[in-house]
Amino acid sequence: MSKRGCPSATEASKAAPNMAQCNMAPPLFVRSPSLTPLHQYITLRYFLNVTISTIHLKQARAMTDKMTLYKSGMNKFVQQDFAGALDDLAQAIALDPQFADAYQAMAHCHEKLGDLDQALSAAQKAAEHDPDDFLVHTSLSMFYQRKGMIAEAEREKAIAAKLQMENPL
């Protein structure tokens, strides 16, 4: 065992489960001449599986946290706690900056709070991340109309109608 608590190359092939605690990158010991090609393959495959599993686990946790925050924000929206909903939705977006549904929900929170500029900005971000969602374009049309931007409202209304015909609920 090395000073860092990492097994040597020979020990690595025998004690693969302990390698998850090692900070050593796989190529440093996988290419060791003392390991047979089969042992090198097994060790490398173990490290790749651990790495991939860790990445998938982190993504799954972020997805769960993102959805938990989104649902919490939507519950607060229903309870008319729009400021609280905005906080939860902002946290969900921090986990996934391309979360179009959260931007869409934020737009309606801002609308309920009377801030049409922020509502329009959030709806535009939702449209950037999900341009094929007709509800996003419907919201944009509504916000533009309320701001007196009739040409933009009509354009978004036409986009929404076209998308709805192509992709009905």
List the chain domain ranges: 63-166
Q: Whole-number mean pLDDT of the chain?
A: 80
CA–CA separation, 112 vs 143, rounded Å? 12
Cα 134 to chain centroid, rounded: 21
* Other Cβ atoms within 10 Å of 160 Cβ, number: 20
Kindly report which listed range (34-38, 107-111, 154-158) carries the lowest average pLDDT score: 34-38
Joined tokens for residue 93: 């977006």
For range 145-165, the mean pLDDT: 95
Determine contact, residues 110/90, Cβ cutoff 8 Å: no
The pairs formed by 132-138 with CB atoms below 8 angstroms and a separation of 24 or more are 132/163, 132/167, 133/100, 133/104, 133/163, 134/159, 134/160, 134/161, 134/163, 134/164, 134/167, 135/104, 135/160, 136/100, 136/104, 137/163
CATH class given for the domain over 63-166:
mainly alpha
The most distant pair of C-alpha atoms in the chain lies apart, rounded to whole Å, by 75
For range 162-167, the mean pLDDT: 89
For range 150-161, the mean pLDDT: 95
pLDDT of residue 109: 97
Residue written as tokens 């391309």? 98
Joined tokens for residue 131: 């341009």
pLDDT, tens only, 105-150: 999 999 999 999 999 999 999 999 999 999 999 999 999 999 999 9
